[in-house]
Structures are given as structure tokens and as C-alpha cells.
């Protein structure tokens, strides 16, 4: 998980365009290593889908961490519960 410093304005080209920008930022930020297949998605919603429904990781029990290794949440429910283990700013 990460937050960019980049400010975006206007039309992203929908959620798919926002996801592309997120993936680019992940590569620039060193979150994706050469040859690694990792997919990042923007935490956004539209008039039809909430971010929670769109990202849909129900049942996942892994760790959400910031780049520094700090724990944000354990499992999807921990992430969306409103009670995070730690901050997920620019870590």
C-alpha cells in the first residue's frame, strides 16, 4: 500500500485509467521489481461500485503493509473495518 505525492486532476479515463496511473506510480516508487507481476489498483469508486466492492479481496488474510514494513491491517476485513493497526501514509 502506498500514497503518492502526485496530484491528479480531471478525467483519468475511468477507473481503468486510474489503475494505470497507480501501477505506474508503484513501478516508479520501487514497489514492483523488474520481471515481477504485481498489480496495484487505485482506491477509488465510481457511481456504480464502491472501492471495497471493486477491489474485492474478501476472505484474504494476508498482511497489508507500507513499504517500510509497518503493518496497516491483517486481512481484508481488517483493512475495511475502520480500525487499522497502523497508518498508511507515505511509508
Range of the domain at 74: 57-91
Q: Phi and psi (nearest 5°) for 29?
A: -85, 0
| DSSP at 19 | H
What is the pTM for the complete model shown?
A: 0.74
User: Are residues 33 and 65 located together in one domain of the fold?
Assistant: no
User: Are residues 9 and 52 located together in one domain of the fold?
Assistant: yes
Domain total of the chain: 2
User: Are residues 3 and 43 located together in one domain of the fold?
Assistant: yes
> What is the Cα–Cα distance from 77 to 84, expressed in whole angstroms?
10
User: Are residues 76 and 46 located together in one domain of the fold?
Assistant: no
User: Are residues 61 and 46 located together in one domain of the fold?
Assistant: no
User: Are residues 61 and 36 located together in one domain of the fold?
Assistant: no
SS3 71: strand
Tens of pLDDT, residue by residue over 6-55, are: 888 878 888 999 999 999 999 888 888 888 888 888 989 988 989 888 88
User: Are residues 52 and 75 located together in one domain of the fold?
Assistant: no
Amino acid at each position: 500500500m502506498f500514497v503518492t505525492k502526485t496530484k491528479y486532476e480531471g478525467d483519468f479515463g475511468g477507473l481503468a485509467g486510474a489503475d494505470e496511473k497507480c501501477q505506474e506510480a508503484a513501478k516508479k516508487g520501487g514497489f514492483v521489481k523488474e520481471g515481477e507481476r504485481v498489480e496495484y489498483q487505485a482506491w477509488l469508486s465510481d457511481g456504480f461500485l464502491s472501492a471495497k466492492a471493486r477491489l474485492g479481496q474478501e476472505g484474504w488474510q494476508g498482511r497489508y503493509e507500507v513499504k517500510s514494513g509497518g503493518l496497516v491491517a491483517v486481512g481484508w476485513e481488517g483493512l475495511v473495518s475502520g480500525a487499522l493497526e497502523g497508518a498508511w501514509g507515505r511509508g
